[in-house]
Amino acid sequence: MASPVLLIHGMWSSGSVWAGFAARLEAQGYTVRAPSLPHHDAAARPPVELGRLGLADYLTFLRREADALPAPPLLVGHGLGGLLAMRLAAEGVGYASVHLGTMTEGIDLRPLGALRDVVMRPGWWRRPVRLERRAALRAFAGNLPANVQARVLDGLTYESGRALREVTLGAPRRTPAWLAPQGLPRPSLLVHGTEDRFAPIGAAKAAARRAGPKATFTQLAGRGHWLPAERGWEQLADDVAHWARSFAP
């Protein structure tokens, strides 16, 4: 049986951002599932309920997706998806996990600085929030090739203000309550671009240390936040497939 992969997208995006990455993994024999988080599958204005969804709601959705697969999957998350994959891995979901440009929980105003157009709106933390194209360029799309950049910007969706608040203004940055003292129970790989202006690399390094002895941290020189589509993404997908093959059941 081919090993399943669950691809988890990040903020203001959908499962479609994984199109190239998914095809690359499928070519190497994996079966891939890349769902869109609730109300993230269209650029049109979503229902108001999106603004009230938190990380717990996203995790409930993803657990169902993982349970529907024929075998424990490899978890691969990007941005917020990297954090969600880490929380699932801490529960024992999947046989290994990969976290690309992962966000981390804790008080961190740097992402909010890049998103000032969002957080200046009244009540943003309880509403669906839209990221303007110029803010996306400033935050995470500036390193993309021109043709890919246009596709990413055109595909931006709304995001939950509550989820954004939980990630950036949550508990102080320390070992989260959901992470056991010994770290993650399965192998994990954290990959981060040195030029990531949205998810600070220092926070990702700290997350890798908290993930414990089964975690590996790799930084990519000159890369930004949108690792599934920046230059060299093909090699990154191949490297992920090769790394995971050592741990597949």
CA–CA separation, 157 vs 153, rounded Å? 9
> Quick one: 4-245 is in which CATH superfamily?
Alpha/Beta hydrolase fold, catalytic domain (3.40.50.1820)
Distances 4 to 118, 119, 154, 204 between C-alpha atoms, Å: 36, 37, 29, 26
Distances 89 to 6, 94, 97, 98 between C-alpha atoms, Å: 12, 6, 7, 10
Q: Give the pLDDT score at 110.
A: 61
Q: Give the pLDDT score at 31.
A: 95
What residues contact residue 170 under an 8 Å CB cut-off, 6+ apart? 105, 106, 107
Q: Give the pLDDT score at 32.
A: 97
N- to C-terminal Cα separation, the chain: 10
Could you list the mean pLDDT of each consecutive 10-residue stretch along the chain, which spans 249 residues?
Answer: 90 95 95 96 84 96 97 97 97 97 76 72 90 87 89 92 87 75 96 92 92 97 95 96 93
Q: Which tokens in the block code for residue 70?
A: 């024929």
Q: Where are the domains of the chain?
A: 4-245
CA–CA separation, 46 vs 209, rounded Å? 37
Q: Give the pLDDT score at 68.
A: 97
